[in-house]
């Protein structure tokens, strides 16, 4: 495979390195990277907290800071391990510092941007219903305050190479080519588990407005017609438990539950797809591996890129059925065990007081 040129820059200065591992995920707020730095100068090569970037072949991959600086040595050699984290860590670690702490008649994107007091930056094109009010609990981080609504609405939260937060409700695009056994797959494994297979997913919550049964005891149910036996999961809905929010929540949870029990891990020797794009999280990819029984589209839930001291590269792709991350029914000929439920029917009812 061609050598990937990875550039680590700290406070505007490039740091030579011997090896690296780069990680990003569709369900993770921060991407991270670890470098074994080649350094023989005085002291240590960099300080914790310094601004840092990572580029792959000139393309920006990470914007953040030095999270950990770990020097070590024996009698003759010294080693410097430098760990980086995306600047989106401020969204998950720093408290919201907003004068009022409350906004009215806003959608999820407006909530996120209003309470991004750390200045991380929020992007995305998701469209969500407006909330009557949204209030920040003292000490909450930006992620703390938006995650319950994001979960209820089937919204993923992750970072971008520029260090901004991204809100998405479906895969961002498609990787070129196919991951195929005997061609570009070094190794593959799968986990097909029934632990998260449920016949019904119920959502229960409470509405802060009103005093009738609909407000105090709303209940929504998503049914999986393919379930082999009766297994029920009850989800406590946080935030406003309106009819549409509860129905969307249980449908999302039903798909995610099955998707988390239907996964594959594929190692490929190149960091890029057939079109030259670096493997990325939340992208569709065609997979054809008869030995693990998959022949369909999958979605990249996590991507790990590694390069050793000799310049050898490989990418580890953790994959899920696209519906587990908000995508559509994958077209293919996979064995039945790979299938996650599609748009399960969701019913809503009022519980008696």
pLDDT of amino acid 353: 46
Three-class secondary structure of residue 148 per DSSP = helix
pLDDT of amino acid 45: 97
Distance (Å, rounded) from C-alpha 300 to C-alpha 254?
19
Q: Is 6:307 a contact under the CB 8 Å cutoff?
A: yes
pLDDT of amino acid 310: 83
In angstroms, how far is the first alpha carbon of the chain from the final one? 66
Nearest C-alpha neighbor of 179 from the set 289, 58, 98, 281: 289
| 338 Cα distance to chain centroid | 21
Distance (Å, rounded) from C-alpha 280 to C-alpha 273?
10
Q: Would you give the DSSP letter of residue 146?
A: H
Is the dihedral angle over the CA atoms 246, 249, 253, 254 positive or is it negative? positive
- Residue by residue, DSSP assigns 308-323 as -TT--EEEEEEEE-GG
- Residue by residue, DSSP assigns 247-277 as HHHHHHHHHHHHHTTEEEEEEES-SB-TTSP
Distance (Å, rounded) from C-alpha 10 to C-alpha 7?
10
Spell 166-187 as b/e; 16+ CB within 10 A means b.
bbbbbbbeebeebbebeebbee
pLDDT of amino acid 311: 76
Is the dihedral angle over the CA atoms 327, 328, 331, 335 positive or is it negative? positive
Q: Is 203:151 a contact under the CB 8 Å cutoff?
A: no
pLDDT (tens place) for every residue of the chain, 353 residues total: 568 999 999 999 999 999 999 999 999 999 999 999 999 999 999 999 999 999 999 999 999 999 999 999 999 999 999 999 999 999 999 999 999 999 999 999 999 999 999 999 999 999 999 999 999 999 999 999 999 999 888 899 999 999 999 999 999 999 999 999 999 999 999 998 877 778 788 887 766 555 554 445 567 887 877 677 888 888 876 666 666 777 777 777 777 776 677 889 999 999 999 999 999 999 999 999 999 999 999 999 999 999 998 879 999 999 998 888 877 767 676 766 665 555 555 565 555 44
Question: Residue 171: what are its φ and ψ, rounded to 5°?
Answer: -60, 145
Sequence-ordered list of residues with C-beta below 8 angstroms from that of 319, at least 6 positions apart, any chain: 263, 264, 265, 266, 285, 287, 298, 299, 300, 301
- Residue by residue, DSSP assigns 163-194 as S-EEEESS--EEEEEEEEBTTTBSEEEEEE-S
Three-class secondary structure of residue 338 per DSSP = helix
Task: Please tell me the pTM assigned to this model.
Answer: 0.88
Three-class secondary structure of residue 10 per DSSP = strand
Residue with tokens 């580029």: 55
């Amino acid at each position: 495979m061609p050598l990937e040129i990875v550039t680590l820059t700290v406070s505007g200065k490039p740091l030579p390195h011997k090896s690296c591992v780069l990680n990003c995920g569709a369900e993770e707020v921060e991407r991270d990277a670890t470098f074994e730095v080649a350094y023989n100068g005085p002291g240590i090569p960099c300080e914790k907290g310094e601004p840092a970037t990572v580029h792959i072949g000139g393309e920006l991959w990470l914007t953040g800071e030095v999270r950990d600086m770990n020097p070590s040595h024996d009698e003759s050699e010294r080693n410097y391990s430098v760990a980086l984290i995306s600047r989106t860590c401020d969204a998950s670690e720093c408290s919201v510092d907003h004068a009022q702490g409350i906004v009215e008649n806003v959608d999820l994107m407006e909530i996120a941007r209003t309470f991004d007091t750390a200045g991380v930056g929020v992007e995305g094109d998701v469209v969500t219903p407006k909330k009557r009010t949204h209030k920040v609990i003292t000490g909450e981080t930006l992620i703390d305050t938006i995650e319950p609504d994001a979960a209820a609405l089937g919204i993923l939260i992750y970072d971008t190479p520029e260090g901004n937060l991204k809100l998405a409700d479906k895969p961002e695009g498609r990787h070129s080519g196919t991951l195929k056994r005997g061609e570009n797959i070094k190794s593959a494994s799968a986990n097909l588990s029934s632990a998260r297979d449920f016949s019904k997913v119920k959502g229960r919550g409470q509405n802060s407005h009103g005093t009738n049964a609909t407000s105090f005891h709303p209940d929504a149910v998503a049914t999986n017609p393919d379930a082999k036996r009766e297994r029920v999961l009850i989800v406590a809905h946080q935030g406003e438990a309106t009819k549409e929010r509860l129905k969307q929540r249980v449908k999302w949870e039903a798909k995610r539950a099955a998707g988390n029990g239907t996964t594959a891990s594929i190692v490929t020797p190149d960091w890029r797809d057939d079109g030259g794009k670096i493997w990325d999280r939340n992208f569709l990819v065609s997979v054809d591996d008869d030995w693990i029984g998959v022949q369909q589209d999958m979605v990249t839930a996590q991507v790990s890129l590694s390069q050793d001291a000799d310049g050898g590269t490989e990418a580890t792709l953790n994959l899920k059925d696209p519906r587990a991350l908000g995508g559509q029914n994958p077209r293919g000929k996979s064995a039945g065990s790979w299938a996650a439920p599609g748009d399960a029917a969701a019913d809503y009812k009022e519980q008696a007081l």
